[in-house]
Chain A
Amino acid sequence: MATQVDTSASTGAGRVASPSFWSGVWQNHAPGYLFLLPWLIGFLGLTIGPILTSFYLSFTHFDLLTAPRWAGIDNYMRMFTNDPKFAASMRVTFVFVVFSVPLKLAFALGVALLLNRGMKGLPLYRALFYLPSLLGASVAIAILWRQMFAGNGLVNQLLANFGIQGPSWISNPNTSLWTLIILAVWQFGSPMIIFLAGLRQIPQDMYEAASLDGASKWRQFWKITLPMLTPVVFFNAIIQTIEAFKSFTPAFIISGGTGGPINSTLFYTLYLYNEAFGFFRMGYASALAWVLLAIVALFTAFSFLTSKYWVHYDD
């Protein structure tokens, strides 16, 4: 037994030591890792390391100046039992996601369907509708929005032409969030382009066959277009939902960084930013980040699990 182990060990060592083995390993695997090196350094140093660190920090009190103090589950306890602002930011974010994403996708699909009828001037329309998506993330657009929905802003001047005296939309807690939802819906251009690409993938002969069978356009939409488009709907819904959860700049600019009035635009990301960089509660902010990660992960997992019941795949 002992000799056997010895020989196998020695042959193993012999093989490992042989230069041809190592040069083989080197030739087969080194180029891949060399090309991957920048990403790998970034992945380990800027992603995995920080993820684990922030998980640890979420169980501490940490103000950046002194070393983190272990806090157990204090941060999470406070969040779920004793933090009205956390509850408010959750509510605001969910309302934003629940209204902005379906509205945005509905507009995107509606316009894509119109454009897909072989309209003349399609490239021009497509470009015009896409422009807000491209510009929309800018601070400049958030500033424009803030002005549009102010008391003496553009929207109220328009309404004044019809004799309507509008409120200051951004300083009224009942309407402020809706100005942000409208801003998000205004940027329906990029999902629209993806819908257009998806519509073009649907084989035309399916419609021809349906027409011969006497199916109305309405029926064709429900029986052919929508089912064939579900993979694209699914894709757009996931991407847009995650984006909506991460939205920050418009709420920051329109509320002047406060999330006001009365927390009505206190997006989750904005609350997290204020806790971290306004009050230097880095431990608490890390816990907030992990809850956000959990929500996004749960949402994504749920979407993929339920997708097999409503997303139509060819195979």
Chain B
Amino acid sequence: MTTDAERLTVVTGSSVTRRKVISIVSHVLLIGASIVMLYPLLWLMASSFRPENEIFTSGVSVLPSANWSFDSYVRGWNGLRVGFGQLFINSFVISALSVIGNVVACSLAAYAFARLEFAGRRFWFAMMLMTLMLPYQVTLIPQYVLFLNLGWVNTILPLVVPKFLAADAFFIFLMVQFFRGIPKELDEAARMDGAGPWRIYWKIILPLSMPVLATAAIFTFIWTWDDFFGPLIYLNDLRQYTVMLGLRTFTDNTGMSDYGGMFAMSVLSLVPIFVFFLLFQRLLIEGIATTGMKR
């Protein structure tokens, strides 16, 4: 007991300087870790502005080259038989449609689960939760056969239509959690005034759910933009390619690679995500903190 008490007085006695030292050490550690973590990104960025012959001679520097130029961007943009502009358009179309599909379909389902009474609700909700854990490989091959028979392979339909059928159950779960937090009195008051489920959904739930709808929209956009596996399987024609497939094509030309062009297009492909990050950082971080998303 006495030793503990002594230690306590010692600690409290020197606590001001001690706390300062700990704080400085922590900051040094965190700044060091930030630099190590961001270094590869900075290097990628710097390399994309270097002339091709400097990329591997300028070593580890992340400072802009003296003869920096946009040459790599021009070469990369035209590096495939189809310009990267087309690929960006394709990616944007797929991502935008996915956002609409996810927000509409998932919010409809979430409203049913969170607010409506109907036979079998608990059962379907449990089924929905189960699909959260399901590895997509289990449904992959029959889905491919189905889309093949529908003649949808090499179109964007297999990538977009499932979103309109609320296939990303994760967002349903996210929205259910949010909808449950909206006071039920609001629904009941509206019902007194003769509003049906549709009016309540449209006039009360959706307007009050903008944060969760925005979170779902942003994550859908980013995940669809990043998606590699879906386009890899369903899109074969270069004109249909997404940006991610285009980048992969660079790595395929193993013989004589255009590193500058590849890096430049890599940087460009990250720009939309980075913009979302800058604009909606708080929304994204809160979304993860409250629900625990995978990435």
Q: Which of B5, B33, B165 contacts A42 (CB 8 A)?
A: B165
Binds A, one of B67-75, B134-142, B180-188, B206-214: B134-142
Q: A253-B251, A256-B251 are in contact. Are A39 and B165 (CB under 8 A)?
A: yes
B133, A140: Cβ atoms closer than 8 Å: no
B135, A36: Cβ atoms closer than 8 Å: no
- B289 contacts A by Cβ under 8 Å: yes
**Main DSSP-derived SS at the A contact region:** helix
Interface size class of A (residues with CB under 8 A): 35 or more
B 250-290 binary contact with A (CB < 8 Å = 1; else 0): 11101000010011011101100110010001001100111
Expressed in whole angstroms, the Cα–Cα distance for A269 and B34 within the complex equals 32
Contacts of B144 in A (CB 8 A): 276
Q: Which of A35, A158, A236 contacts B112 (CB 8 A)?
A: A35
- A163 contacts B by Cβ under 8 Å: no
- B26 contacts A by Cβ under 8 Å: yes
A293, B109: Cβ atoms closer than 8 Å: no
- B294 contacts A by Cβ under 8 Å: yes
Expressed in whole angstroms, the Cα–Cα distance for A43 and B124 within the complex equals 10
B135, A245: Cβ atoms closer than 8 Å: yes
Q: Tally A-B pairs: CB < 8 A.
A: 268
Contacts of A253 in B (CB 8 A): 248, 251
Expressed in whole angstroms, the Cα–Cα distance for A186 and B142 within the complex equals 35
A137, B40: Cβ atoms closer than 8 Å: no
> Which residue of A has the minimal Cβ distance to B47?
A147
Q: A114-B30, A134-B273, A292-B138 are in contact. Are A148 and B295 (CB under 8 A)?
A: no
Contacts of A286 in B (CB 8 A): 141
A 167-179 binary contact with B (CB < 8 Å = 1; else 0): 0000000000000
- A196 contacts B by Cβ under 8 Å: yes
CB distance from B40 to the nearest CB of A (A): 6
Contacts of A101 in B (CB 8 A): none
> Which residue of A has the minimal Cβ distance to B59?
A157
A131, B270: Cβ atoms closer than 8 Å: no
> Which residue of A has the minimal Cβ distance to B30?
A125
Interface size on B, residues (CB 8 A): 100
B 164-191 binary contact with A (CB < 8 Å = 1; else 0): 1111010010000000000000000000
B27, A119: Cβ atoms closer than 8 Å: yes
A31, B116: Cβ atoms closer than 8 Å: yes
- B43 contacts A by Cβ under 8 Å: yes
Expressed in whole angstroms, the Cα–Cα distance for A43 and B169 within the complex equals 9
B105, A134: Cβ atoms closer than 8 Å: no
Contacts of A33 in B (CB 8 A): 112, 118
A272, B197: Cβ atoms closer than 8 Å: no
CB distance from B57 to the nearest CB of A (A): 10
Q: A45-B165, A138-B269 are in contact. Are A51 and B229 (CB under 8 A)?
A: no
Contacts of B59 in A (CB 8 A): 157, 160
CB distance from A144 to the nearest CB of B (A): 5
7 contacts between A and B (CB under 8 A): A29-B119, A32-B121, A39-B108, A43-B127, A50-B140, A51-B142, A248-B229
Q: Please give the residue numbers on chain A whose beta carbons come within 8 Å of chain B beta carbons, in ascending order.
A: 28-33, 35-43, 45-47, 49-51, 53-54, 57, 64, 111, 114-115, 117, 119-121, 125-141, 143-148, 152, 154, 157-158, 160-161, 186-187, 190, 193-194, 196-197, 211, 213-214, 216, 235-236, 239-240, 242-243, 245-246, 248-249, 252-253, 256, 269, 272-273, 276-277, 282, 285-286, 288-290, 292-293, 296-297, 300
